[in-house]
Structure 1
Amino acid sequence: MIVEQQVYFMIQSDELDPEQITRYVGVEPTRSEAKESRRGRKSGRLLPPRHEWMLDSGLAETTSLGEQTEAVMNQLAGAWDRIGELTAGGTTATLVMLRSFEPGEHSNPRGLILDAEAISFLHKAGADLWIDEYDLS
């Protein structure tokens, strides 16, 4: 059974802080974190190693990955060229698709699909795709 599903778009930069990324992209993030703004609980190291700007789908974790991806993509409509300019300058952009499973009678996870339009937007933005799946059994 799927326990959690989440899609978000992340921009990371060594140089541009989250406010600068927001101004450049023209979209408010759902969450952000400045480089080395906190210490890790176990390591005591300064985290995160880069500035992080993240945009969530805004949908419930029970919503399909496809619907969440579409919601994120729609929020970034019109910003793909600007994101591409950032990645051309060394910033990293990633669409993150995450889901967790636990065993159960409905433990047959559905696959995920990115349509040609989504792939085209990611390509235009110079963005990566990160798919993370966890088996919690």
Structure 2
Amino acid sequence: MNRYRVHVIVQQQVYFMIQSDELDPGQITQYVGVEPTRSEAKESRRGRKSGRLIPPQHNWILDSGLAETTSLNEQVKVVMNQLAGAWDRIGELTAGGAEATLVMLRSFEPGGHSSPRGLVLDEEAISFLHRAGADLWIDEYDLS
């Protein structure tokens, strides 16, 4: 009796995100020198309980632009290539308080055949993330 369920990858997505309380997406774009795929400028707001002013956190996001069926490894390569030459500038932003994150998302559901599950970040990708002061966020969802 096979105790292991077979899962199929339903969706895969990679994007690089810069978040800042200080710089809006336009300022981040100007500093980094790369246009984001999407962005969100937020306004300051008051905390519900404390009433204190909570600073905005602006989001600057660069998607891979590839289909959700494309491997995470290929999507990472595309994002890394789009940011080539910008890693030191991103590192300056993170040193100044911004947050940078490479996000890798996958969703699985039960299926009749198994999808390849592994992913590899090579030394160059890790080096770029280190230079940028960026985190890596891997998120996986079981949709069964």
Is there any run of 5+ residues in structure 2 with no aligned partner, and where? Answer: 1-7, 45-55
- Residue type matched to 2:74 in 1? E
- Residue type matched to 1:92 in 2? E
Counterpart among 104, 116, 119 of residue 123 in structure 2: 116
Question: 1: CA distance between counterparts of 2:94 and 2:60?
Answer: 13
Q: Describe the SS at the equivalent of 1:102.
A: strand
- Residue type matched to 2:107 in 1? S
Return the TM-score normalized by structure 2: 0.85
Is there any run of 5+ residues in structure 1 with no aligned partner, and where? Answer: 38-48
Question: 2: CA distance between counterparts of 1:36 and 1:134?
Answer: 31
Q: Describe the SS at the equivalent of 1:73.
A: helix
1:58 counterpart residue number: 65
Question: 2: CA distance between counterparts of 1:108 and 1:57?
Answer: 21
Question: 2: CA distance between counterparts of 1:76 and 1:12?
Answer: 16
1:18 counterpart residue number: 25
1:36 positional shift? 3.9
Return the TM-score normalized by structure 1: 0.89
Which has the larger Rg?
A: 2
Percent same amino acid among aligned pairs?
86
1:107 positional shift? 3.7
Root-mean-square deviation (CA, aligned residues, Å) is 1.5
**What do the CA deviations read for 1:46-99 (whole angstroms, capped 9, x no partner)?**
xxx510000000110000000000000000000000000000000000000000
- Residue type matched to 1:7 in 2? V
1:108 positional shift? 4.5
Q: Compare 103-112 and 82-91 and name the one that shifted more.
A: 103-112
Question: 2: CA distance between counterparts of 1:106 and 1:36?
Answer: 47
1:110 positional shift? 1.4
Question: 1: CA distance between counterparts of 2:29 and 2:139?
Answer: 26
- Residue type matched to 1:86 in 2? L
| 8 Å CA contact retained: 1:30, 1:56 | yes
- Residue type matched to 1:61 in 2? E
| 8 Å CA contact retained: 1:14, 1:35 | no
1:35-46 to structure 2, matched below 5 A, reads 35-36=42-43
Counterpart among 73, 92, 101 of residue 80 in structure 2: 73
Q: Describe the SS at the equivalent of 1:16.
A: coil
